[in-house]
Amino acid sequence: MKEIRFVKAVYKLSELPEQKYPEIALCGRSNVGKSSFINCLLSSKVAKTSSLPGKTRSINYYLVDNKFFFVDLPGFGYAKVSKDERDTWQKLIDAYFNAGRNIKLAVHFIDSRHEPTNLDITLNGFLKGLGLKHCIILNKADKLNQSELAKAKKNILQLAPEMELNKDFILFSAINGLGKKEAIKLINSTIIA
């Protein structure tokens, strides 16, 4: 992966871009590091990052190497926006997943510093129910010591026992590059498949 460009921000389903490329959907709680993941994989700063949760309020499309889209979905579970706005995001996300897009992979980001929340459990069940190929990125792994990492891995394998470490369950850090190689390998194999 060498080149990335921002294509558009989508606020309603009618604005989705023409379906010319396969899509990799990035989903998870607010402030879990989806934008940092994009920037890390492509050694770029194209995706805007923020220390404020709830910054991504649209579905953001990024074209990678003129081969596929990263689709950055709004983060869920952020309490400091109105319930109406959260409901609007949720409807947009549901509509996206049910719009018949060419979604090759859904990437579920979970913050390694916390146990999976009820919203993570719901999202995991939702993706399984759709029958989509999906993986889990256990993000911000640089913040944990070895015993904390072991506990975090155990939590994920309880949530998703079918996942295999370094295959469809990856420890990741945008700070030190942990898991970058494995994530690129997974994405490349998914797009080529």
- Digitized pLDDT (tens) for each residue of the chain, 193 residues in all: 889 999 999 988 899 998 899 999 999 988 889 999 999 999 988 877 655 444 457 899 999 999 999 999 987 755 455 667 667 767 888 889 999 999 999 999 999 999 998 889 989 999 999 999 999 999 999 999 999 999 999 999 999 999 999 999 999 999 999 999 999 999 999 998 6
At residue 1, the pLDDT reads 85
Question: Can you tell me the distance from the alpha carbon of 168 to that of 156, in angstroms, rounded to the nearest whole number?
Answer: 11
At residue 58, the pLDDT reads 84
CB 51 within 8 A of CB 188: no
pTM of the entire predicted model: 0.90
At residue 165, the pLDDT reads 93
Question: Can you tell me the distance from the alpha carbon of 154 to that of 161, in angstroms, rounded to the nearest whole number?
Answer: 9
Question: Can you tell me the distance from the alpha carbon of 9 to that of 135, in angstroms, rounded to the nearest whole number?
Answer: 24
Question: Can you tell me the distance from the alpha carbon of 88 to that of 51, in angstroms, rounded to the nearest whole number?
Answer: 22
Write the pLDDT tens digit of every residue in 132-158: 999 999 999 999 999 999 999 999 999
The 3-state DSSP class for residue 35 equals helix
Question: Can you tell me the distance from the alpha carbon of 53 to that of 79, in angstroms, rounded to the nearest whole number?
Answer: 9
Domain boundaries, the chain: 4-192
Neighbour count for residue 61 (Cβ, 10 Å): 20
Q: Which helix (H) or strand (E) holds 147?
A: helix 146-159
At residue 78, the pLDDT reads 52
Write the pLDDT tens digit of every residue in 168-187: 999 999 999 999 999 999 99
At residue 47, the pLDDT reads 79
Contacts of residue 117, Cβ cutoff 8 Å, sequence gap at least 6: 29, 77
Q: Give Cα 175 to chain centroid, integer Å.
A: 17
CATH classification number, 4-192, choose in 3.40.50.300, 1.10.260.40, 1.10.3720.10, 3.20.20.70: 3.40.50.300
Question: Can you tell me the distance from the alpha carbon of 36 to that of 54, in angstroms, rounded to the nearest whole number?
Answer: 14
Neighbour count for residue 143 (Cβ, 10 Å): 13
Question: Can you tell me the distance from the alpha carbon of 24 to that of 189, in angstroms, rounded to the nearest whole number?
Answer: 12
At residue 53, the pLDDT reads 46
* Residue linked to tokens 């194999």: 189
At residue 192, the pLDDT reads 80
Phi (first) and psi of residue 62, to 5 degrees = -125, 130
